[in-house]
Amino acid sequence: MFKSRHWLLFLLLPGSFVTFSAEAQIDPAKRELVQLGYNQPLEGHAPISAYAFYYYNQPSFLRTNLTLRLAIAPVYLDSELGIAHALGPHTDVGLGLAGGGFADSYYEIHQGKYLREQSFTGHGAQASASVYHLFNPDQRIPLNAILRGEVTHAFYERDRETAPTFVLPKDRTSFNVRTGFRWGGKEPLLAPDLGLELSVWYEGQFRLNSGPYGFGDDRRVEPASHLFWARALFAYTLPERKDNFMLSVTAGTSAKVDRFSAYRVGGVLPLASEFPLTLPGYYYQELSASRFVLINGTYYMPLDPQKRWELTAVGTTSVMEYLPGLEQPGRWNSGVGGGITYHSTSQAWQIFLGYGYGFDAIRSHGRGAQSIGLLVQFDLERTKSSFYDPGANTSWSRGLDRVLHSFQ
């Protein structure tokens, strides 16, 4: 465990990047940025929800068809080398390596209570290979297919609060595969001017060293888990007023899921995943579901002609079937939020301060919970973009959560 909090201000943890573009899934833009985010509940006690990372994306790395994506942290490294046209004129390949501390940690949250005695630290490493194929290069709305294979290894250790009688899961190697089709897409912005997406996905996780763990073997790691989900998204900017709105519906089901593969819903930080299952006012990943439907609407309203100040309103509702062992009364969970953003004149940095209220979150006083959040971006390339969304890989954000947790 670390002994001082002060260096946390300079923590840089990685995220991975998945974005829609005409070049399939390899990001064609040069990017260099730092982004920080923090979400704090106003009642109850939960795992700290935060991230801070440095991201670097370099097209034409060594050769014109190579793109290097690199994210670096004191405790984690995430990288991918993209090879354009590796398997044909419209088929790209990505080769990735990632690994470091705290990436596979697990937090147990049940009916609004963070159970430290059933939570533990996990570290891991990962190697991946991806294929990105563009079916319709001559059409305005692209149709992409994605196939990714991963080999991961995780090993676990107790926290100081983990109960002595709680048996940790075995260290294990997993073989994962994800495949999907995406028609259209969303740019890597918090508020894209225009966006349209229909996508369907499958992910399989196949584990060695599966089996029981916990208190008296009361839970288990499944040897294989299967996830199926889809998303529909539409974003638009009004031509005259320049107000912007985004609507999305995400739905998922599963087979043989466990605590490590279930859908985790809750929190508002935009870097939770490529498909963030956010609920304002709730703890980060508070709810564990085997199937769900989540509907989200966000509205952005500029307050001045230069769009330096902007108001945001968010509304989210979800119905779900909880993972066995983590059930709670009521299948519906809803939340609302709002905030204000300031953009610097040069667009080199932006800061957002927000508030969220979860109507159905369970707390000691009954139902209802509040939280506040902060997002800051420094764009070292001084590109004129909104908050960056590096997407799919959540390992780095879980890692920072565990680092911060060690200081409590």
pLDDT for position 49? 84
Range 313-329 average pLDDT: 97
- Of the pLDDT bands very low, low, confident and very high (cuts 50, 70, 90), residue 358 is very high
Spatial CA neighbour of 153 closest among 225, 105, 106, 207: 207
pLDDT for position 149? 98
pLDDT tens column, 91-128: 999 999 999 888 899 999 999 999 999 999 999 999 99
What's the rounded Cα separation, in Å, for the pair 319 and 331? 5
Q: Render 326-364 in DSSP notation, one character per residue.
A: S--S-SEEEEEEEEEEEE-TTSSEEEEEEEEEEEEEEET
**Which 3 state secondary structure label does DSSP give 100?**
strand
Q: Residue holding tokens 């109960």? A: 163
pLDDT tens column, 360-396: 999 999 999 999 999 888 888 875 444 444 444 445 4
Least confident range of 134-138, 197-201, 299-303, 401-405: 401-405
Range 320-332 average pLDDT: 97
Name the DSSP letter for residue 404: H
Name which residue leads in pLDDT, 2 or 174.
174
Task: List Cβ neighbours of 250 (8 Å cut-off, separation of 6 or more).
Answer: 229, 230, 231, 275, 277, 292, 293, 294, 296
pLDDT for position 20? 28
Query: Has residue 147 got a pLDDT over 90?
Result: yes
pLDDT for position 72? 79
pLDDT tens column, 48-84: 888 888 889 999 999 999 999 988 777 888 999 999 9
Least confident range of 198-202, 271-275, 357-361: 271-275
Query: Has residue 279 got a pLDDT over 90?
Result: yes
Least confident range of 37-41, 249-253, 360-364: 37-41
CA torsion through residues 238, 240, 242, 243, sign:
negative
What's the rounded Cα separation, in Å, for the pair 389 and 53? 12
Query: Has residue 12 got a pLDDT over 80?
Result: no
Average pLDDT, the chain: 86
pLDDT for position 339? 96
Name the DSSP letter for residue 402: H
Q: pTM for this one?
A: 0.86
Q: Are 376 and 50 in contact (CB under 8 A)?
A: no
Query: Has residue 141 got a pLDDT over 80?
Result: yes
* All domains in the chain, ordered by first residue: 6-405 (2.40.160.50)
What's the rounded Cα separation, in Å, for the pair 267 and 248? 17
pLDDT for position 357? 98
pLDDT above 90 covers what percent of the chain? 65
What's the rounded Cα separation, in Å, for the pair 69 and 94? 10
Query: Has residue 130 got a pLDDT over 60?
Result: yes
Structure tokens at 143: 């149709």
Single-letter amino acid, residue 405: H
Least confident range of 32-36, 155-159, 219-223, 369-373: 32-36
pLDDT for position 388? 41
Tally: H helices and E strands in the chain: 1, 21
Spatial CA neighbour of 131 closest among 194, 82, 64: 82
